[in-house]
Structure 1
Amino acid sequence: MIDTGKQPNTLLAGVMKQAGATNKGLARRVRLLSEQDGGEPVRCDHVSVKRWLDGTTRQPHPRTCQLIARVLGEMLGRTVTLAEIGYAETAGEDDNDGGDIGLDYPEEVAQTVATLGAITDLELRTPKKAEPLTVVPQAWSDLVVRWLTDSDSDRSRPPAEPRRITFVDVEAVREATAMFSSFDYKYGGGRPKMLVASFLDQEVLPNIPHVSPHDPIGREYFREVAALTRLAGWTAYDTGAHGLAQRYLTQAFRLAKAAGDKPLCGRILAGMSHQANFLGHYQRAVDLARAASKGANGYATPTTMALFSAMEARALASLGREEEATAALLTAERWHGQGNRENDPEWIRYFDRAELHAEFAHCFRDLGNAELANHHAAASIRESESTYVRSLSFVRTVLATSHLQDGNLDEALYVARSVVKTAASLKSLRVVSYLDEFRSRLGAFSNDPLVRDFLDFATLHLPSKGAPVSRTLLVA
């Protein structure tokens, strides 16, 4: 299959480098395996491999792709997926469909780089009709164990072909993350999601295999790439692509670990806790938040530590453990009061007083305390900056729910209607899921004309089909 606009297969090259495979050696092994498995012998040599690598042959025959993956898997002592070597399009023709990719904690950071390439490839090039990746809850627990027991030092080998990196490269990634984050806050994850993946694919992946996290500039570069990859996971989460989000966040964690940035590692674990809680895995959400706090304590700023305690409180509130949730909220408030915005990394500066009030509101809503939920939701709205449109939508929905819990139906519907108007233009399925959850609470009032009118209005304006309803999603 010849492609005149040839593009090098950097994913295949990366995995071959990990396996120590030469062009001749790979060709020979593919030929031998094709003869041993009883199928039609594959005729390939070092020139064939060169064509696979430089993109002259965009994609070999599906069976050849499968043989390449099997050979490299045998050399590495692990499963190598078709997506991991740049042949995601053939995954449907084999049982090895990339479902497990991105969930392991790679010993070598070079493997993370290759895996990140495979994930972005899946996002950008997999047909929309393909089955979505599933969430694997055990992977969260496995990561917590690694985080709390692994050595602080990174044992990854330096790149085989180092390339000079500059502070301009670092700044480019940092500014891209800031720009895409602004889109995410204002317009929902659906706006920047593909832009983030494309930036990773086109600007980061060609560079990072040649960068070492062991030199100062390289470490900064890894830190910024980890923050951008975390954002890729967050935008996927916001659009309901939960399996994809889990994989991005796992690889972001590994990149942050390679950079030696414990606070950012904790931030990523806190994001995993947020997602686990949303999906109904409450105890795992508690574990992730506590692991973030324990592992980053002494390194993270007070504002960051406040976030970890807030995530713990959310999960405890979901479990109905009121005393523990309240204690965690007070800890979050105490940490937050010690914070200094000037000392905070860019990725935590959003967590202001308005966000802290929002966390209190969420927790008291789930604990059934309508009065305190209402108080903190209103305080959050008063203090919120206009940039955080999505966050305001969340907390206003919580406010609407607190009015409903307090028996104030008219006020609940008035606030919820205003959220529907905003959600109609936001590309955030999480916001839609909040409103769907609110609508589900209206069952007892189904005969009220005001409720019927609101439900008709919401149905007309909300893209509810396929929305990820909180705490009811199927996972592996």
Structure 2
Amino acid sequence: MASNSRHSRTPNTGLANLLDQAKWSRSQFAQIVNRIGAEAGLELRYDQSAVSHWVAGTMPKEQVRPLIVEAFSRKLGRPVTHAEAGLPVVSSAYTSTLTSLTSGSEGTPGTPGALGPSAPPGSSGVNTLEELVDMGRADMDPSRRNVIAAGLFSAAIVVPLFPDLAQAADRNAPPAGKRTVRIGAPQVQAVRTMTDRIADILDELGGGHARPMAAAFLVNTVMPWLKAEAPEAVRKDMLSAASDLVYLTGWMAMYERAHGLGQQYYLRALELAGAAEDHVTYCRTLRGMSLQASNLGYGKRALELADSAAEASPKAGPRLRAFLSGQQAHSAAMVGDRRQAFARLRETETALTKADNRRESVGGYDHTAYLFHMSHVLYEFKDLPGSITALQQSLRTQAKNERQGRVHFLAVLAQRQLELGHLEAACVSWWQFLDDYEHVSSARGDEHFETMRRRLKPYVKTWAVRKLRPKIDEVAALKG
């Protein structure tokens, strides 16, 4: 192949760097790869010269690449990905780490990164966990976040069906092997507790602070636990807890206007939920994808996703039912379906009357959210005064610690008040917006701030805007 010719090889600096970090000689590394290969049923006879060829740029055989990644992961005590090792992801199910997590019993755990059976026809062979590690590492690195955030949102992306995800997880049972870490219910609870805490930080301080924390926890703690030995029930619970965390991280990326990245997190959350056989998290993530589509103006796609989420969750409790039908109402309004939009709003209100008062950090829904959806529906049908009233009612019921949400609600309220011609009322709302915005790190908040300054330019000589101007300048200086 041309890519392996003497003249076109590019030295594999990633592999060389990992060898330095592991403090392995090339001969030692060859022996370790041979040993891990034996665990997977392969008879390998690599030596120092083979490793030298790899470092020089020769590509290892496809079935050997996962062994290389696994060797470094074990030695360094952290997830190592194909990309970090300078290797392309294997196109078949050889690296289906997700499959190795969800199959097998406690007595015959699969080996992380070990070889599995060939991918079934039509399988993409996507390695969910490796992709999450690469995404998470970039997300927690300020110098790389702008690069990964530049990915484009796709309105036509194929969304995997829940039964297909579950069947794909069941299809591929990995060979027996050894694992060096064992997890139980306490580790699952730790992931859920951290997810709750990150959601609280998101509410109070914004996604700019919370998302790097989520990414770091995902990469450094959750990924190794997902590859650990565990009883089947614990393994499924850990996949479910991880799916919730990935869903939340995707929601934050979406909220921070990194829509391509948010969509990728959502897709990975779907895959984890399917592997965990967790219908609720799968449906909740579909609903998040609908919200993202609606934020970008794709009304038809938003409705398709919202309807799919509701249809996939026939046994949803009242709060989840409200969570799903509220988004259906907004999406139906976007496509001009007045009858369906208001019918869904009635369903949402009825479901909320049957729900308990528990506050859920991920996928929660309450009267505040219902009123916000009502405001959206009314606005889509040109009832601007009714939309403003619903927003004001929503703000009155909002919890005091939900500062990021209040920043968004107040900015939308002010814009609609100005649209109605109520400049002074809009300035009052923008003053309140600034009070909260100065405490929050949020790309959406930044966008609202710039929208406010742009929309107030024609009114700079009015008394209301002159009064607001010092506050705007103060916050602008604070934000830098």
Q: 1:335 aligns with which of 348, 351, 366?
A: 351
Q: 1:273 aligns with which of 290, 306, 315?
A: 290
User: 2:349 and 2:475 mapped to 1: Cα distance?
Assistant: 37
User: 1:445 and 1:321 mapped to 2: Cα distance?
Assistant: 37
8 Å contact kept, 2:138–2:145: no
Moved more, 126-135 or 422-431: 126-135
Equivalence for 1:180 = 198
Q: 1:196 aligns with which of 214, 222, 229?
A: 214
Amino acid at match of 2:131: T
Equivalence for 2:263 = 246
Cα drift, residue 295 of structure 1: 0.4
Amino acid at match of 2:212: M
User: 1:420 and 1:33 mapped to 2: Cα distance?
Assistant: 59
8 Å contact kept, 2:411–2:433: yes
Cα drift, residue 449 of structure 1: 5.4
Aligned CA distance change for structure 1 residues 175 and 319 (closer, same or farther; 3 Å): same
Cα drift, residue 412 of structure 1: 1.1
Aligned CA distance change for structure 1 residues 346 and 429 (closer, same or farther; 3 Å): closer
**Which residues in structure 2 correspond to 1:20-169 (within 5 Å)?**
24=44, 66=86, 68-69=87-88, 73=90, 111-125=127-141, 127-128=143-144, 131-138=147-154, 141-143=157-159, 146-147=161-162, 154-155=169-170, 156-157=172-173, 160-161=177-178, 164-169=182-187
User: 1:74 and 1:178 mapped to 2: Cα distance?
Assistant: 36
Cα drift, residue 450 of structure 1: 3.5
Which of structures 1 and 2 has the bigger CA Rg? 2
Amino acid at match of 2:365: F
TM-score normalised by L of structure 2 = 0.72
User: 2:60 and 2:284 mapped to 1: Cα distance?
Assistant: 50
Q: 2:310 aligns with which of 265, 271, 293?
A: 293
Q: 1:255 aligns with which of 272, 275, 279?
A: 272
Equivalence for 1:215 = 232
Unmatched 5+ stretches in structure 1: 80-104, 467-476
Moved more, 178-187 or 365-374: 365-374
Aligned CA distance change for structure 1 residues 2 and 204 (closer, same or farther; 3 Å): same
User: 2:477 and 2:93 mapped to 1: Cα distance?
Assistant: 45
Cα drift, residue 217 of structure 1: 1.8
User: 1:394 and 1:306 mapped to 2: Cα distance?
Assistant: 21
Find the residue that maps to 1:216 and give its secondary structure: helix
8 Å contact kept, 1:270–1:288: yes
Cα drift, residue 151 of structure 1: 5.7
Equivalence for 1:357 = 371
Compute the RMSD of aligned alpha carbons. Answer: 4.6
User: 1:295 and 1:432 mapped to 2: Cα distance?
Assistant: 36
1:199-248 alpha-carbon deviations (Å, 9 max, x no partner): 11111111212356x82222221111111111221222232322222211
Amino acid at match of 1:250: L
Moved more, 21-30 or 274-283: 21-30
Identity %: 20
Equivalence for 1:368 = 382
Aligned CA distance change for structure 1 residues 40 and 199 (closer, same or farther; 3 Å): closer
Cα drift, residue 280 of structure 1: 2.3
Aligned CA distance change for structure 1 residues 451 and 291 (closer, same or farther; 3 Å): same
User: 1:7 and 1:378 mapped to 2: Cα distance?
Assistant: 62
User: 1:74 and 1:26 mapped to 2: Cα distance?
Assistant: 23
User: 1:444 and 1:391 mapped to 2: Cα distance?
Assistant: 28
User: 2:477 and 2:331 mapped to 1: Cα distance?
Assistant: 28
Find the residue that maps to 1:131 and give its secondary structure: helix
* Count of aligned pairs: 421
Amino acid at match of 2:132: L
Aligned CA distance change for structure 1 residues 241 and 30 (closer, same or farther; 3 Å): farther
User: 1:242 and 1:27 mapped to 2: Cα distance?
Assistant: 46
8 Å contact kept, 1:7–1:55: no
8 Å contact kept, 1:273–1:289: yes
Equivalence for 2:443 = 429
User: 1:64 and 1:169 mapped to 2: Cα distance?
Assistant: 27
Find the residue that maps to 1:205 and give its secondary structure: helix
TM-score normalised by L of structure 1 = 0.73
User: 1:365 and 1:29 mapped to 2: Cα distance?
Assistant: 69
8 Å contact kept, 2:137–2:216: no
User: 1:113 and 1:281 mapped to 2: Cα distance?
Assistant: 29
Amino acid at match of 1:276: A
Equivalence for 1:390 = 404
User: 2:239 and 2:69 mapped to 1: Cα distance?
Assistant: 30
